[in-house]
Amino acid sequence: MFTAFALVSTLALAGGGLLLLIGYIGTLPAAFNQGLRVGLPVLLLPLIGPLWFAHRQGAEFRREVIQLVAGSLLVLLAAGLIMTYGPYFAEQQAAELIEAAKQR
């Protein structure tokens, strides 16, 4: 059970982070190409700025919107798994270590 938890949470976090990074890299140069007034919010507001810019551009940046939203959902999934099941597995492993130490 722990292996499945570790695998799913790690892959969700890595995949979500990768999608967020790709979406951010896709929107940042295009935003600065339109000037500082558009580029600075994208740079200074890490998730909201790129989503705002990509949504404002319409169908041309649909892929970046999907990447940013999917990446955010995957990172939230990983955080939820870690916050929910992480303490359970830590407590279980600590109890196993205490039991093993008592048997020595």
Q: What is the pLDDT of residues 34-85, one digit of tens each?
A: 999 999 999 999 889 999 999 899 899 999 999 999 999 999 999 999 999 9
Does residue 5 fall inside a structural domain?
no
DSSP 35-92: -HHHHHHHHHSTTHHHHHHHHHHGGGGHHHHHHHHHHHHHHHHHHHHHHHHHHHHHHH
Does residue 1 fall inside a structural domain?
no
Does residue 7 surpass a pLDDT of 90? Answer: yes
Mean pLDDT value across the chain: 93
Q: How many domains does the chain have?
A: 1
Give the pLDDT of residue 2: 87
Does residue 30 surpass a pLDDT of 90? Answer: yes
Report how far residue 21's alpha carbon sits from residue 73's, in angstroms, rounded to the nearest whole number: 14
Report how far residue 36's alpha carbon sits from residue 62's, in angstroms, rounded to the nearest whole number: 22
Report how far residue 74's alpha carbon sits from residue 29's, in angstroms, rounded to the nearest whole number: 24
Domain that holds residue 91: 11-102
Stretch 89-96: mean pLDDT: 90
Does residue 44 fall inside a structural domain?
yes
